Amino acid sequence: MSAFNAIGEEREIDREEFTPGIEPQPTWCPGCGDFGVLKALKQALPEVGRTPEETLLVTGIGCSGKLNSYLDSYGFHTIHGRSLPVARAAKLANPGLEVIAAGGDGDGYGIGGNHFMHTARENHDMTYVVFNNEIFGLTKGQTSPTSPKGHKSKTQPHGSAKDPIRPLSLALTSGASYVARTAAVNPNQAKEILTEAIQHDGFAHVDFLTQCPTWNKDARQYVPYTDVQDSDDYDFDVHDRVEAQEAMRTAEEALYEGEVLTGRFYVDEGRPSYQEEKQRIGEMPETPLAERYFDDDYEWERAYDEFIDKHR
């Protein structure tokens, strides 16, 4: 059998391959930032030479969760907050796949916060795109973990008493080896960052600012941005943890004060991915586990003889 021929073949990838012909058109509202993510992803994937067949897009629930309905790859639309554990295992089972996980700020930083922390800690070789619009969109406008303090909604009528999550800082402290923020209003930067994140060998977290024209007109997601890499004011070394931490703190505070800072904040090329670590210590086979099931020649060992012997 030849299930895995698709993987690793060198060929030119046509951008149109990721665009379904008569498949469902997005149900997102006109002007929604999610269109920006979809577009950037469609542009980035051919850039990195991935075919739709070797791409697995795993999503959570919410407007963002519908992303893989509109990208013509393999897809797994999971449950609220659980895209990362599904994606992690798929990648471990078949490292030949390009695994991308995506979700919203409620999905990724709220209900899935624990998984976010642990996936970053383990540094799985995958990309995680979080659509950050500071609101619960699909359930009609409730306060989210990234909504600013004082944000009023039907579920927080007195204004939120909580400080917002700081996703970039959280990713860094948890161990992500690539942390960036981009915005739907900056298509060029978004494509560049997604391309880089997908190519990165480790856990790449992209906090993707997406505007919600229906439920969150107050958020800063529409305003012109400053690319921290291009700005002399924010000169820092993306490879330096301490400097990156400081830059992130500034960016995360500035967002709520009216200035949108985006760009790469931290890149660590040196940290081995989880898969590499597991293989190094002998916890994971060199050949993809999934491939073995399709290889007629693979000898199904019963190497637990020593375990059976213990029962004699």
Contact residues for another protein, defined by CB under 8 A: 1-7, 20-24, 52-54, 56, 58, 61, 66, 68-69, 72-79, 82, 84-94, 96-97, 114-115, 117-118, 278, 282-285, 287, 289-290, 292-294, 298, 300-304, 306-308, 311-312
Q: How many degrees, rounded to 5, is the angle at CA 94 between CA 174 and CA 177?
A: 20
Describe the chain by its helix, strand, coil percentages, rounded to 5: 35, 20, 45
Measured from the CB atom, the residue of 25 and 258 that comes closer to another protein is 25
Cα 84 to Cα 90: distance, rounded to the nearest angstrom: 10
Measured from the CB atom, the residue of 116 and 208 that comes closer to another protein is 116
61: phi then psi, degrees, rounded to nearest 5: -115, 150
Whether 95 and 288 have beta carbons less than 8 Å apart is answered as yes
Q: How far is the CB of 14 from another protein (least distance, A)?
A: 13
Measured from the CB atom, the residue of 75 and 167 that comes closer to another protein is 75
- DSSP-derived secondary structure letter, 135: E
Measured from the CB atom, the residue of 24 and 258 that comes closer to another protein is 24
Measured from the CB atom, the residue of 121 and 223 that comes closer to another protein is 121
- Coil, helix or strand at residue 132: strand
Q: How far is the CB of 142 from another protein (least distance, A)?
A: 20
Q: How far is the CB of 177 from another protein (least distance, A)?
A: 19
Q: How far is the CB of 38 from another protein (least distance, A)?
A: 14
Measured from the CB atom, the residue of 85 and 187 that comes closer to another protein is 85
Cα 282 to Cα 121: distance, rounded to the nearest angstrom: 19
Whether 37 and 210 have beta carbons less than 8 Å apart is answered as yes
Q: How far is the CB of 196 from another protein (least distance, A)?
A: 23
CB neighbour class for 305 (10 Å; exposed up to 12, middle 13-18, buried from 19)? exposed
Cα distances (angstroms) measured from residue 305 to each of 174, 267, 300, 309 = 40, 45, 13, 6
Residues 6+ apart with CB under 8 A from 169: 245, 248, 249, 252
Measured from the CB atom, the residue of 52 and 148 that comes closer to another protein is 52
Q: How far is the CB of 243 from another protein (least distance, A)?
A: 30
Q: How far is the CB of 193 from another protein (least distance, A)?
A: 24
